A and B are shown apart, each in its own frame.
Chain A
Amino acid sequence: MGELTRRTFLARASIATAAVTGGAAVINRMAALAIPAAAATPAVMGGPSALGEPLVAHVRNIATGEVAVLMGTREVVYRDRALVARLLGVVG
């Protein structure tokens, strides 16, 4: 498998992993917070796939539910205790 193909594959796999472990919830919540509901789903959900960029959610503070969502060179910080609780459940 060529370098470019492998990179592309890994980037897409990374996005998929983020979605499985809570990334989809983060994206939806970001959309609800940041942009009108009518435009939220297609604009945000289509972004990562189109850009081929990884999305990383960093739980900064478990107690407060503070989550930093990183994509490209952007960072959005918000609080979502329910999401953090679900993520904790995933890792046992």
Chain B
Amino acid sequence: MSSHREAPGISKDPVADNTDLYAFVSPDKPDTVTLIANYIPLEGPAGGPNFYEFGDDVLYEIHIDNNGDALPDITYQFRFTTQVRNPNTFLYNTGQIKSLDSPQWNRPQFYSVTKIASGQSTPIASGLPCPPCNVGPRSIPNYTPLEHSAVRPLPTGETVFAGQRAEEFYVDLGAIFDLAVLRPFENLHLIPTAATEGVNATNHLNVHSIAIQVPISQLIQSSSNPVIGVWATASRQTATMISPGGVLIGAGPFVQVSRLGNPLFNEVIVPMSEKDLWNSLPPSADSQFLDDVQHPELATLLPFLYPGVFPNLAAYTKTRADLAAILLTGIPSGIIPGFQNFTGTTPADLLRLNTAIPPTPTSKLSIFGILGGDLAGFPNGRRVIDDTAAIELRAVAGVTIPLVDPTFTPDAAASLLTSFRTDPPPIGSGPGHSFPYLGTPYDGFDNPSS
């Protein structure tokens, strides 16, 4: 998946597991950028009575580099606090939840936002409410006002939201991890069966999102340098002790346990033995993973698993400068007409967004982003609708090699790779059209077996 359960260590700690990161110029407010960091993978909507929530003991952060050194120039920190209103019941809610301050909601969660910039740490807001998990229609007869009232403007110009949302990342997990099967191409696989339509394995699941909408003027250093690099992290204190009674006590500095920039980087590029290490490192240390990007394992697997389908890719032995540009430095100007998101030569896994590229009108959107001629889509940042799995699969299969090596001709199949025949694929409840842009979370009553 994008970064769900992508490393052995963090797969055992879902509350801190950063699953997806989005960064895009807000389509309805194009003078702002929306940043969304998702955590807690594969939430079944019916997962009660202790429904999903952020970790009170986790430090969640979204970092922005605006000068190309792969170091954070701006960091937003989010810390959560859970209240228990009635300790004498096992219920998440003791009646209907009709407002965020409902006394019937037994376990509300609140959060604070701190901004770090220019070496200064500034608390911006505290006591901001999360909406409840979407339990079901009897507990929450109308979820809409709850999610709307959880969108909060900050005194410094940003808008924030934190809470449960529908999982909008789509991928055919059951197929892709079964020896890289793409169901529409099953007939071409080393172990062939009849081709079928892909299945969105994340459909009807939820996730927990931290979203912040920031004026572009606050993110970039100047209009002459409109590119930002974004990554998200989760950190835990060095020591956690379990005291008698099951009370967790933390001590020591926060240590990073999860990181996410480009989707699938740690999952597909980094080898098993280095995945936990990668999660602990800052992007500025990513030069040690340059060889993994330049010689991706998946590029050698595809010709083997799909015999005769990728002869040109199989014969290509040069380092993958195209992937290094897309994932580690950004794409310099002069390669794609009218576009660049280059941040410099420092190799770092950052989600790079050229904030000067306006949002694409709905009628011209392509879920294949730049590969589909849509310069406002991945890998120029990442929008909710972008089919990042297909884009990266096509890139690894060789579609982007001609950007840096005109002598290479991609195999015909490379530009067709996808898990889904339909366009757009089945995406949960469908992304929202305004902040926080992710759909209403699925409720447990109506989605009991997800």
B121 to chain A, nearest CB (A): 12
A residues 1-33 near B (Cβ < 8 Å) are: 2-3, 6-7, 10-11, 13-14
User: Does A54 contact B253, Cβ atoms closer than 8 Å?
Assistant: no
Alpha-carbon distance between A90 and B238 when the two chains are bound, in angstroms: 24
Summarize B's interface: helix, strand, loop or mixed.
strand
User: Does A56 contact B247, Cβ atoms closer than 8 Å?
Assistant: no
A35 proximal to B (CB < 8 A): no
Residues of B within 8 Å of A, CB-based: how many? Answer: 15
Alpha-carbon distance between A68 and B255 when the two chains are bound, in angstroms: 14
A47 proximal to B (CB < 8 A): no
User: Does B245 contact A14, Cβ atoms closer than 8 Å?
Assistant: no
Assuming the contacts A3-B84, A3-B87, A75-B238, asked whether A10 and B245 have C-beta atoms less than 8 A apart, the reply is yes
Assuming the contacts A3-B84, A3-B87, A73-B254, asked whether A14 and B249 have C-beta atoms less than 8 A apart, the reply is yes
Which residue of the partner chain, among A10, A53, A72, A74, contacts B247 with CB atoms under 8 Å? Answer: A10
Alpha-carbon distance between A11 and B243 when the two chains are bound, in angstroms: 9
Which residue of the partner chain, among B87, B244, B245, B253, contacts A74 with CB atoms under 8 Å? Answer: B253
A70 proximal to B (CB < 8 A): yes
List, in ascending order, chain A residues with CB within 8 A of B249's CB: 10-11, 14, 54
B315 proximal to A (CB < 8 A): no
Assuming the contacts A54-B241, A56-B241, asked whether A73 and B247 have C-beta atoms less than 8 A apart, the reply is no
B194 proximal to A (CB < 8 A): no
B252 proximal to A (CB < 8 A): yes
A56 to chain B, nearest CB (A): 4
B8 to chain A, nearest CB (A): 23
Closest to A1 in B: B245
User: Does A6 contact B251, Cβ atoms closer than 8 Å?
Assistant: no
A58 proximal to B (CB < 8 A): yes
A55 proximal to B (CB < 8 A): yes
List, in ascending order, chain A residues with CB within 8 A of B252's CB: 56, 68, 70-71, 73-75
Chain B 240-265, CB-CB to A under 8 Å as 1, else 0, gives 01011101010111100000000000
List, in ascending order, chain A residues with CB within 8 A of B238's CB: 58, 68, 70, 75
Assuming the contacts A74-B253, A75-B253, asked whether A10 and B237 have C-beta atoms less than 8 A apart, the reply is no
Alpha-carbon distance between A13 and B247 when the two chains are bound, in angstroms: 12
22 contacts between A and B (CB under 8 A): A3-B84, A6-B247, A10-B243, A10-B244, A10-B249, A13-B243, A14-B249, A54-B249, A54-B251, A55-B251, A56-B239, A56-B241, A58-B238, A68-B252, A70-B237, A70-B238, A70-B251, A70-B253, A71-B252, A72-B251, A73-B253, A75-B253
Chain B interface residues (CB < 8 Å from chain A):
84, 87, 237-239, 241, 243-245, 247, 249, 251-254
For the complex with contacts A13-B243, A56-B251, A71-B251, 20 further pairs of A-B residues with Cβ separation under 8 Å are A2-B87, A3-B84, A6-B245, A7-B247, A10-B244, A10-B247, A14-B241, A14-B249, A53-B251, A54-B249, A56-B239, A56-B241, A56-B252, A68-B252, A70-B238, A71-B252, A73-B252, A73-B253, A74-B252, A75-B253
